Chains A and B, each alone.
Chain A
Amino acid sequence: MTPIILVCAMAFLLLGALGAVLGRRPSGHVVVYGGSLAVAGVALLASLTQLCFGIAPVPRVLLPIGLPGLGMHFTMDDLASLFLIITNLGAAAASLFALGYGRHEHEPWRILPFYPVFLAAMNLVVIAADAYGFLLCWELMSVASWGLVMAHHTDAAIRRAGTIYLLMASAGTLALLLCFGLLAGAHGHYAFAAMRNAHRSSWIGALVIILALIGAGSKAGLVPMHVWLPHAHPAAPSHVSALMSGVMTKVAIYAFIRIVFDLVGPAAWWWGLVVLLVGGMTAVLGVLYALMEDDIKTILAYSTIENVGLIFVGLGLALAFKADGMMIAAALALTAALFHALNHMLFKSTLFFGAGAIQHATGTRDLAQLGGLIHRMKISTVPMLIAAMAIAALPPLNGFASEWLLLQAILLSPALPQFGLKLAVPAIGALVALSTAFASACFVRFYGIAYLGRARSPEAATAHETDRFSRGAMIGLAGLCLAAGVLPGLVIDVLAPVTHALLGARLPAQAGLAWLAVVPVASSQSSYDPLLIAVFIAISGGLTALTLYRFGSRVTRRAPAWACGYQERDPAALRGTGQYSPSGFAQPIRRVFATLMFRAHDDVVLPPPGDIGPARLTHHWTDPVWAALYTPLVSTIGLIAERMNRLQFLSIRKYLGFVFVALVVLLMWTALWT
C-alpha cells in the first residue's frame, strides 16, 4: 500500500500547485477541497485495507531523491497504517467541511496552496522510513501549517501567534534532529531499519527519550512546550484548526511512539515515570486553562493539550509495563493511548467545525457574546452535543471507552516492582480523574453557554445554520464517535496488530464476546458493555416515556421562567443580564483550583457612595509557564544578544585573532578526540 500513499501525497502536492494557480478563481476551492476529499478518501481506504485485512504487497519503497547515495525510504507498517487512518479520516472530514466553509473565505489564495501540501506532508511523515525523509517532511508539515496560520496575517495577534509557532516548531525540529543523530550513531545509519538493529548504551537511550519528548512533545502540546498551541491553533481557519488540533498532534504522537517504542530499543523503567509525570501535569493544566478561557477556539486548543496529556499517560504506563516485562498490561495501556488518539481526532475535529460554524454565523468567538444557538443552528447542535459529551468522557460514547481502558491499565500497576512507579501511578490516576472531571465542567460551560439559554448579543440572536457540507462533516464524525463508543471491542481488535508489532503482545480478541462486551484482561474480570447499556437506555427511556404518557398528563405548556421577580418583557433589555456569564460559571472552580497555580484573583470595583453606577467584577490569571520559563528565557536571550552585538564592531585585527584562536581550539580538540 506504500506506493498508493506516495501517489496520494503526490496528488496532494499537485492540488497545492493547482491551488496556487486557481486561488483567485471562484472554482478554486471546489477543485482543491473536492480533490483533497477524494485523495484523502483513497488514502484512507488503502490504509484501512492494510490494517484490517493485512494486505500489503510492497513493503518498502526507495526513492532515488534526497541525499546522494542515501535516497528516501518509505514503508508502511501497522503503526503507520493506523496513523494514516487517523490522518486521512481527519483530512477527508476537514475537506468536506471546507467545501462549504471555504466559500466564505475572503482571501482563499492564502489558504488553497498550503492546505493540500499540509495534508501531503502529514501523510509523508507517517510513511517515512529514514531520518532524512522524516525530518524533511516534518519541516514541510510545520512550514505549510505556519503558512495556514498566517492566512489572516493583517491581524497583529495572528502575526504574534505565527512567530511563536515558528520558533517553537524550529526548536522542536532541532530536538528531533539531535535525537535522530544520536539514534543514527557514529556511522550515520539514517534508515529506521538500521537504527532498530543498532546497539547503544543506556545513557544514549535516555538522551533520545528526553529529546523525543521535547521534539515530538512540543508539536503535540506537552506542558511546558504547549505555549504556541493556544495561539496558533485558533488563529488558523477552522478546518485547518481542526487538522492542527485533531491530526497534526497525532502525527507528533506517532513520531514519539515510533522513536520510543520502535527505534530506541529496550526501555528503562524510569522513562515511563518521566512520560507519566509530564502527561499527568499536561492533562490537568491543559483543562484548567480551558476552563478559564472565554474564546471558543482557544478553549478547544487548550482542551487538546489535556487530551494529549491523557494519551501520554497511556504511553508512559505502556513504557513502564514494557520495561518490567508485563506485556499484556503494556498492550492494554498502549491500546488505551492509541484509542484515545483516534477518539480525540473524531471529537476535536467536530468541535472545531462547530466553532467555525459559530464564528461564521455570529462573527465572534467570545463565549460571553453567544447563547441560544440551539434555536438558530438546529441541526449542527446535535453533533456538537455528542462531541461535547464524548470529550467529557461520558458513557456510552467513545471518550469514556478509551478512558475506561486507561483506568483499567492503571489498576494493573500495583504489580510494578519499582517503588517510584508504585507511588507515582496512583497520583497520576488522581490527576487523570481530576482532568476528566474538569473536562466535564469545561464542556458543560462551552456547550451550555454557547448553545443554550438566551442570546447574549444581537449577533447570536440572528445567527444562521451552517451549510450542508459542514453539517455532513460534523454529523459523520459524531456518528463515528457514537459507533466507536458503543462498539469499542471492534476498535480494540483493529488496534491489536499495532500493539502486537510494537510489544509482541495483544489484547484478546473482543469481537466474539457475548453482547460485544469489552473484557481487556481476563484475570481482572472487569468488563464494560456499552452496547448493552445503550440498549438499556433505549428500552428504559422508551418505557418511561410510554408510562408517563399513558398514565399521566401529556400536555407541555410554555411559560416565562421565574427570575426572582426581575422580569422584563423586552428581550433586548434582558440581553446579557440574568444569565450566568462564562467567567461567572467558572468562578468557583477558578477560586478553588487556580488561586495557587495561576494566581487567579477577582477584583471588585464598587462605585463610591452616592454614585448609582454598577459595581464591576473583573478577574485575572497568569500563565505560570510563561512567567517561570519563557519570560526569563526571552530576557536572557535578549541580554546575550545585546552583549554579542559588540562583536559586530571590532577591528580587522581582532577578527583575525578570533579566527586564529578558534582554529587552534578546533585543532586541539581533533587531536585530543582521536
Chain B
Amino acid sequence: MDLIVPLLLQLFQIGLVILVAPLLAGFVRLLKARLQRRSGPPLLQIYRDLAKLTGKDAIVAGDASWLIVLAPYAIFVLTWIAAALVPSFATGLPFSGAGDLIAVVALLGTARFFQMLAALDVATAFGGLGASREAMFASLAEPAMLMIVFTVAVVAGSSQLSAIADFMHSQAAGLRLSLGLGLVALVIVALAETGRFPVDNPATHLELTMVHEAMVLDYSGRHLALIELAHALKLTLYMSLIACIFVPFGMAGPGAALPALAIALVGYVGKLAAGAVLLAVFETTIAKMRIFRVPNFIGAALMLGLLGTLLLFVSATL
C-alpha cells in the first residue's frame, strides 16, 4: 500500500494534466471572446476538434522526410512529460525526483528543437520564418527562464520542484524582492513561450505576425491534434509552474489523506481558473508587439531574473 497509493497518485497527475489542458485553453478562449463581446466557442469545443482531427487522414508535405512524422509525437510526449513533472496538486510524488526545474525547461527545449526542425523540413518560407523567429525568442527566453530557476533554487535551496513548493509553503519563504522580480520575469517568459499576446497571437494566420502558427501550418489530422494538445499542455505547464512556485497553498504533502487530496485538487483547478481569467483580461487589454520589439520585452525578463539572482547572491534575505 505504501507504494501503490503514491504511484496511483502519480499516474493520476500524469493523466490529469492531459485532461485539464484542453479545458484550460478552451476556457481562456471563451473568456476572451466574452470580453470582446463575442459569444465564443463552447467550453468543450477543443475536445471535439481534437476528436475530429484524430479521425482525419494526416497529410504530409511532399518534400518532407520522416522527421515531420516523428516530430508531432516527440513534441507531444516531451511536453507531456515536462508538464507531468510539475507538481499540480500534490508534492513528493514518486517520480518527482526524475527531473528538476532545469530538466523541465530542457525537455521543453527538446520539444522546441523538434518543432523548429520539422518546420524547416517542410521546405516552405513559412516554416523557416517561424523557426527563425522562434529561435530568436528562445535564445532570450531560455536564459531568462534559467535565471528564474536560479532565483527560486537559491531561495529554496534546491531546484527540485516538490522541494521548492514545500519551502514556499513554509513560513521560511516570506516576502522577498527577488521572488517578486522572479514572478514578473516568469510571467513574461510564460507569455512568450506559450505564444500569447503581446509576443505572438495564438489565433492568427497572418504571415507577417505569426511565429508559432507558421511552424505548424503544414500539420493536419492526428499530427495537428498532437501539436494542438501539446500547445495546450504547455499553457497548463506554465500556469501550474507559477502556481506551484508562487501560490503553493493547499497542495497535499506526501502521504496526505483523501480529504486533503480532494481539497488540493479543487484548489489546483481554482488556481488554473484564476490564471485563465488573468490571462484573458491581460490579452484583451494589450496589443501585439512588432517582432523586433519582442527582444526588449523578453530581455526585460532576463534582466529581472538576473537582478533577482544577483540580489540573492549578495544578500540571502532579499
- Interface residues, chain A, with chain B CB atoms under 8 Å away: 371-372, 374-375, 385, 389, 392-395, 400, 404, 407-408, 410-411, 413-414, 419, 422-423, 425-427, 429-430, 433-434, 436-438, 440-441, 444-445, 447-449, 452-454, 515, 517, 519, 523-529, 532-533, 536-537, 540-541, 544-545, 548, 551-553, 555-564, 578-580, 584-589, 591-593
Contacts and interface: CB of A to CB of B under 8 A. Distances in A.
A433 B142 contact: yes
Contacts of A438: 139
B60 A558 contact: yes
A423 B311 CA distance: 9
A524 B160 CA distance: 9
A373 B106 CA distance: 28
B223 to A, nearest CB: 9
A541 B127 CA distance: 25
Interface string B119-134: 1111111111101110
A645 to B, nearest CB: 50
A448 B125 contact: no
A440 B113 contact: yes
B116 A433 contact: no
A527 B97 contact: yes
A517 B60 contact: no
B244 to A, nearest CB: 16
Contact of B65 (A375, A419, A426, A537): A375
A401 to B, nearest CB: 10
Given A441-B138, A453-B122, A541 B73 contact: yes
B109 A553 contact: no
Nearest to B76: A544
Interface string B127-155: 11101110110111111001101100110
B188 to A, nearest CB: 16
3 interchain residue pairs of minimum CB distance: A580-B128, A448-B120, A433-B143
A569 to B, nearest CB: 11
A395 B110 contact: yes
Contacts of A578: 123-125
Contacts of B100: 526-528
B269 interface: no
Nearest to A375: B65
A569 B46 CA distance: 37
Contacts of A410: 150
B78 A589 contact: no
B146 A453 contact: no
A437 B138 contact: yes
A536 B119 CA distance: 25
B143 A430 contact: yes
Interface stretch (B1-9, B49-57, B276-284): B49-57
Given A553-B221, A558-B59, A592-B140, 18 more contacts: A393-B106, A394-B113, A404-B102, A422-B314, A426-B150, A430-B143, A440-B142, A447-B117, A448-B116, A449-B120, A453-B121, A524-B158, A537-B77, A537-B78, A563-B125, A580-B120, A580-B125, A588-B132
B98 A536 contact: yes
B124 A563 contact: yes
A500 B202 CA distance: 53
Given A449-B120, A588-B136, A562 B97 contact: no
A374 B146 CA distance: 33
B113 A434 contact: no
B99 A533 contact: yes
Interface stretch (B22-30, B248-256, B257-265, B302-310): B302-310
B226 interface: yes
A389 B110 CA distance: 8
Interface string B29-60: 00000000000000000000000001111111
A365 B50 CA distance: 44
Interface string B51-88: 00011111111111111010001101110110010000
A551 B60 contact: no
A8 to B, nearest CB: 39
B142 A553 contact: no
A560 B222 contact: no
A448 B131 contact: yes
B107 interface: yes
8 contacts: A414-B316, A440-B109, A452-B64, A541-B73, A552-B222, A561-B63, A562-B124, A592-B292
Nearest to A541: B77
Contact of B139 (A395, A413, A434, A447): A434
Interface in B211-247: 217-218, 221-222, 225-226
A414 B78 contact: no
Nearest to B63: A454
B296 to A, nearest CB: 9
Nearest to A515: B98
B312 A427 contact: no
Nearest to A535: B98
A410 B129 CA distance: 35
Contacts of A527: 97-98, 100, 160
